Amino acid sequence: MKNITAPSAVAKNTATLLITCPDRKGIVAAIADFLFQHNANILHADQHQDAENNLFLMRVEWDLAGFSFDPAHFSQHFAEVSKRFNMEWQLKLSQKPLRVAIMVSQYDHCLADLLHRHKNGELVCDIPLIISNHRDTEALAKFYGVDFQYIPVTKDNKAEAEAQQFALFAKYEIDLIVLARYMQILSPDFVARFPKKIINIHHSFLPAFIGARPYHRAFERGVKLIGATSHYVSEVLDEGPIIEQGIDRISHRDQVEDLIQKGRDLERVVLSKAVRWHIESRILLYANKTVIFD
Amino acid sequence: MKNITAPSAVAKNTATLLITCPDRKGIVAAIADFLFQHNANILHADQHQDAENNLFLMRVEWDLAGFSFDPAHFSQHFAEVSKRFNMEWQLKLSQKPLRVAIMVSQYDHCLADLLHRHKNGELVCDIPLIISNHRDTEALAKFYGVDFQYIPVTKDNKAEAEAQQFALFAKYEIDLIVLARYMQILSPDFVARFPKKIINIHHSFLPAFIGARPYHRAFERGVKLIGATSHYVSEVLDEGPIIEQGIDRISHRDQVEDLIQKGRDLERVVLSKAVRWHIESRILLYANKTVIFD
Amino acid sequence: MKNITAPSAVAKNTATLLITCPDRKGIVAAIADFLFQHNANILHADQHQDAENNLFLMRVEWDLAGFSFDPAHFSQHFAEVSKRFNMEWQLKLSQKPLRVAIMVSQYDHCLADLLHRHKNGELVCDIPLIISNHRDTEALAKFYGVDFQYIPVTKDNKAEAEAQQFALFAKYEIDLIVLARYMQILSPDFVARFPKKIINIHHSFLPAFIGARPYHRAFERGVKLIGATSHYVSEVLDEGPIIEQGIDRISHRDQVEDLIQKGRDLERVVLSKAVRWHIESRILLYANKTVIFD
Amino acid sequence: MKNITAPSAVAKNTATLLITCPDRKGIVAAIADFLFQHNANILHADQHQDAENNLFLMRVEWDLAGFSFDPAHFSQHFAEVSKRFNMEWQLKLSQKPLRVAIMVSQYDHCLADLLHRHKNGELVCDIPLIISNHRDTEALAKFYGVDFQYIPVTKDNKAEAEAQQFALFAKYEIDLIVLARYMQILSPDFVARFPKKIINIHHSFLPAFIGARPYHRAFERGVKLIGATSHYVSEVLDEGPIIEQGIDRISHRDQVEDLIQKGRDLERVVLSKAVRWHIESRILLYANKTVIFD
């Protein structure tokens, strides 16, 4: 299978810095000066100020060609600036793609979509692992050359099943877990182990229709638009920070099955955007919200 | 002020029949045959079957030129067919436009929009009355030549205020009451007096953010889309049958004021569509839902 | 691989009748009476009148359980009505699904999407054949169990290549040809052989950017929205009847590659809707336009 | 008439700097350092790099409270930086709102919309002048307290009419001319006098349906979406830089009048956004395109 990957994605050798700190004068000057002093060729820079929370948030990406030091030593070089402004920061190198695990149950539309986008170069990451509590998607995983691990989950074996999952995440050095219509509720322990590292797709326009069977409830309520929401998973069900939402129009002619069908298109697009933005370091979290530097 | 009215709207002399009945074979044949026997020139016909509730719903509009009897006597001519199929029906004549009252508080964007659309011939109805608990929109009402009645409402005078309102509705022979950002909650008595005759605009994507300050709550939740919903008013707040919904995209750059501003555009469009569909007899209600024959 | 097919799609045993004729009084009465006399249980009926062209267009679908005659003899039973109103009509039985061939070049996103939807029961048709002028999609075809025929096309062999294609269409008894980003222009002879039976996806919002490289030209023009259009193929390039269109918002931050990427999502959805509507007999053609009975 | 103006808009005392220059290292550092040295409290900053044209574009807005010098002397203070990087720049002070003239013919929906938004504080500018070649909108202008000038235009008097218009623009010190469905083609001389200072609304999705009667042509072509485009006026008709576009869905049920009616809602929103972005200094022009810093 030939990969029709965008050459830019392949050739790219960049660093992306995400910063959050209390807002005050001089931050941009300090960062821009630091990068200029070290001969960074800035490709993209975007920033956001949240007045209510007095926060400064920034994303800056630069070409590593000509940069004056090895980015492996970024921490020590950036220490003075980051301490001065009390920054939280993370650095992402394009040549070290994130490692992503996908968890899925029987509905395979999101999984098939993510794998196809990955093959086509749209999602620049590694996807070494698929975990499912059913065998339905095994052939699909095999077709795309991804390891498939079947871990059935029942009321009784949930803790062991999750222990197996944790072991696999460790073994495969997973950075991000994507719940691509995985129909099991994660334990609080699971969620606590991977803060800001689990992305879920919920098949409604949150906060409408939190919980089970949202399309059925949307149909009963007689709404004129249905939605889908991708979000980070946090302790409270469907209450984590929203990354992206999409909607589609429905009419009285649409039955529940039509809502489900139209919803699949939303889920695909809304989940894949969240994954892409995460692996490209475009998301910053604050106050249970997301900033998307697109 | 010259009216740039669509000539078709002016010249039109049609009858529109809305029908609801239990679904069974032969309904369409009976209606179509009835209309054909009386030489009706059908302009539009649309129907819907709700399998779950075993309901048949239909809208048919025909030109009255050449129709074989005076539509004032429709009831007696149609009696046999309507009894045979146990129909509920209503007939609307284009030459007898509905009479609409608008209730408004201080925000005037929906009111200004409705009045402008009315002047331009987009809303073919009479608007003889505006009621407000503030004086802010009096000049606007006057500009468009509509009677303006100022009825302040407090906790203590609510019953009297509503009594005044009822008297005005009677005097002006009002068929439809539009709440164009009227910021008072109607009493159960008010709602019960005008079933399926009060249309409200709620500034959220229902059922998300029911109740007060929806834009503020949408901002706090960090949603990526905001919405507006027009609906019939029923006993339970914001739970009536939804007529239309719209959404707009927001980002982290949008503050609460931006949501409010973007929301105004949604509210205008979503409310005006509901009013237009109602006055053109395009809406049928069943099971707390609407069928829109557009 | 387990098929998660909607049970309704499987169990269905219905007939769908599409009718076009000059508009005059009594058509609906005649059709409804005919169906009632033969004990048809109507599931859906929709009609449209085009005043400008004096045309009546209708789609009616009924359950064949209890229908009074074998639909194989529909033509003779319906002859009197169809002659009286000078009707063109076609009957589609749900138990005889259309046979669809997909033609594709190197970009495989539309193909992968169609095959996945088919597997999931969203497209109720047979897909026995994929033809490509490249080998890139052979593995994908094999995965979904569809015959793959590699027919390279050059300036010199075009006529022979098309002759091979025609032979395959005949052998596989193809009813509909879908060009899923097939990057060869069909000969006039090809187009003439399959009137209203070839569906193409064009990657722009037609009639803007007719012809080659539409995303590049959209980028150069600085548009704020990009689009995709599915349409029937007719003699003149990109001028055939439009079936569906979709758009997505872009900004100055989007480069040509971003347009191409966003466009892929549009193309998938817009093409799959056209195919679904065609195989469900929801499309009627007149005056180089389509009526979509959705 | 009470103005419900957002308090922030009233109280605001900010400077907004727009910069375009050849891209090279150190620009952001230089600007950020300049602002930091002069004690600017940055409220918003956004930048864009166009790799193809090697351009750097930036918008930065800061609070003038505490700024170290009178912005009237900005030019001399900023001279060193702006020369070093060969910058084109413009400074806009929130306390000196732009002065806008609106030109209109008979359709008044865009005019009514702009005036209403202005009254409500959504458009922070002065609107001292309305020019029309018809008298239809005179009452509306009067209602909002704006001077109305009636200047009829014929084939023969066009030059004199434009001379009158120029005199009015000078007298009223107009900064921006908005063509709110003004149905006369401006002379090349007119266009050349006000480069980047005339905003038009075209009632199609450009570049589709350039020129006259776009809704009629969209109807004939059978498109499934209609659009509207706001753009700066340049020498070639409908070819100027696009600022914003919007679309709405139509179906076979929509006649030309329905397209026109739906289009009005698009035109209103799309034109008002362009005007707002212009008066808030959010638009930069390059290569016949716009960057919108929203």
Q: Is D216 on the interface with C (CB under 8 A)?
A: no
Q: Is A223 on the interface with B (CB under 8 A)?
A: yes
Q: What is the mean pLDDT of each run of 10 residues along chain D (294 residues)?
A: 40 93 96 96 94 94 96 97 98 97 97 98 98 98 98 95 98 98 96 97 94 94 97 91 97 95 97 98 95 94
The token pair at D256 is: 């030309």
Confidence of residue C12 (pLDDT cuts 50, 70, 90): confident
Confidence of residue C238 (pLDDT cuts 50, 70, 90): confident
Q: Is D143 on the interface with B (CB under 8 A)?
A: yes
Across A118-151, b (16+ Cβ under 10 Å) vs e yields bbbbbbbbbbbbbbbbbebbeebbebbebebbeb
Q: Is C253 on the interface with D (CB under 8 A)?
A: yes
Tell me the one-letter amino acid at A63: D
Q: Which chains border D (3 or more CB–CB pairs < 8 Å)? A: A, B, C
Mean pLDDT over residues B121-145, rounded? 98
Mean pLDDT over residues C31-50, rounded? 95
Confidence of residue C6 (pLDDT cuts 50, 70, 90): very low
Confidence of residue B227 (pLDDT cuts 50, 70, 90): very high
Chain B residues close to A221, C-beta within 8 Å: 206-207, 242, 288
User: Given D225, D241, D292, which is nearest C247 (Cβ)?
Assistant: D225
What residues pair up with C89 in beta bridges, in sequence order?
A: C19
Confidence of residue A238 (pLDDT cuts 50, 70, 90): confident
**Cβ distance of A252 and B289 shorter than 8 Å:** yes
Confidence of residue A7 (pLDDT cuts 50, 70, 90): very low
DSSP annotation of B109 reads H
The chain C residue lying nearest B293, using CA atoms, is: C46
Chain C residues close to A122, C-beta within 8 Å: 261, 264
Q: What is the pLDDT of residues B55-84, one digit of tens each?
A: 999 999 999 999 999 999 999 999 999 999
Chain C residues close to A269, C-beta within 8 Å: 265
Mean pLDDT over residues C115-144, rounded? 98
| Sheet (strand A55-63) strand order | A41-50, A55-63, A14-22, A88-93
Distance (Å) of CA D179 to CA A206, C102, D197, D275: 40, 48, 11, 10
User: Given D112, D253, D257, which is nearest B116 (Cβ)?
Assistant: D112
pLDDT, position A6: 40
Confidence of residue B3 (pLDDT cuts 50, 70, 90): very low
Strand A176-179, strand A198-202: pairing: parallel
Confidence of residue A10 (pLDDT cuts 50, 70, 90): low
| Residue B222 contacts residue A242 (beta carbons within 8 Å) | yes
Catalytic residue among C108, C113, C175, C238: C238
Q: How far apart are CA B6 and CA B94, in angstroms?
A: 14
Q: Is C217 on the interface with A (CB under 8 A)?
A: no
**Cβ distance of A106 and C4 shorter than 8 Å:** yes
Mean pLDDT over residues A162-174, rounded? 98
Q: How far apart are CA D294 and CA D288, in angstroms?
A: 19
pLDDT, position B69: 97
With a cut of 50, say whether residue B4 has pLDDT above it: no
Q: How far apart are CA B273 and CA B276, in angstroms?
A: 5
Chain D residues close to A42, C-beta within 8 Å: 25, 28, 49
Mean pLDDT over residues C39-61, rounded? 94
Confidence of residue B236 (pLDDT cuts 50, 70, 90): confident
The Cα of C163 is separated from the nearest Cα of chain A by a number of Å equal to 28
Strand C198-202, strand C176-179: pairing: parallel
The chain D residue lying nearest B261, using CA atoms, is: D122
The token pair at D76 is: 């001399």
pLDDT, position C2: 34
Residue with tokens 């865009």: D110
Q: Is A245 on the interface with B (CB under 8 A)?
A: yes
Q: Is C44 on the interface with B (CB under 8 A)?
A: yes
Q: What is the pLDDT of residues A80-98, one digit of tens each?
A: 999 999 999 999 999 999 9
| Residue D34 contacts residue D28 (beta carbons within 8 Å) | no
**Cβ distance of A28 and D45 shorter than 8 Å:** yes
**Which of A84-93, C149-158, C259-268, D7-16 shows the lowest mean pLDDT across its residues?**
D7-16
Give the SS3 label for residue B94: coil
User: Given A205, A252, A291, which is nearest B252 (Cβ)?
Assistant: A291
- Mean of all residue pLDDT scores within chain B: 94
Catalytic residue among D108, D113, D238, D254: D238
Strand C99-104, strand C126-132: pairing: parallel
Q: Is D35 on the interface with A (CB under 8 A)?
A: yes
The Cα of B142 is separated from the nearest Cα of chain A by a number of Å equal to 36
User: Given B224, B247, B291, which is nearest A225 (Cβ)?
Assistant: B247
Structural domains of chain B sorted by starting position, each given as residue range(s) with its CATH number in brackets: 7-93 (3.30.70.260), 99-292 (3.40.50.170)
The chain D residue lying nearest A46, using CA atoms, is: D46
With a cut of 50, say whether residue A8 has pLDDT above it: no
**Cβ distance of A242 and B222 shorter than 8 Å:** yes
pLDDT, position C236: 86
Q: How far apart are CA D226 and CA D215, in angstroms?
A: 8
Q: How far apart are CA D65 and CA D12, in angstroms?
A: 10
Distance (Å) of CA D182 to CA B45, C114, D105, D107, D245: 39, 47, 5, 8, 18
Tell me the one-letter amino acid at B222: G
The token pair at C90 is: 């076609």
Mean pLDDT over residues C84-109, rounded? 97
With a cut of 90, say whether residue C4 has pLDDT above it: no
| Sheet (strand A147-150) strand order | A147-150, A126-132, A99-104, A176-179, A198-202, A225-232, A242-249
Q: How far apart are CA C77 and CA C69, in angstroms?
A: 9
Helices B109-119, D109-119: axis angle to 10 degrees equals 160
The token pair at D224 is: 């499934």
Q: How far apart are CA D55 and CA D49, in angstroms?
A: 6
The token pair at A81 is: 């600036």
Chain A residues close to B222, C-beta within 8 Å: 241-242, 287-290
Chain D residues close to C224, C-beta within 8 Å: 242-245
pLDDT, position A11: 65
B50 is catalytic: no
pLDDT, position D236: 86
Confidence of residue B294 (pLDDT cuts 50, 70, 90): confident
| pTM of this structure | 0.95
Q: What is the pLDDT of residues D107-143, one digit of tens each?
A: 999 999 999 999 999 999 999 999 999 999 999 999 9
| Residue D241 contacts residue D218 (beta carbons within 8 Å) | no
With a cut of 90, say whether residue C204 has pLDDT above it: yes
Reference C27, options C75, C88, C93; nearest CA is: C88
Q: What is the pLDDT of residues B90-105, one digit of tens each?
A: 999 999 999 999 999 9
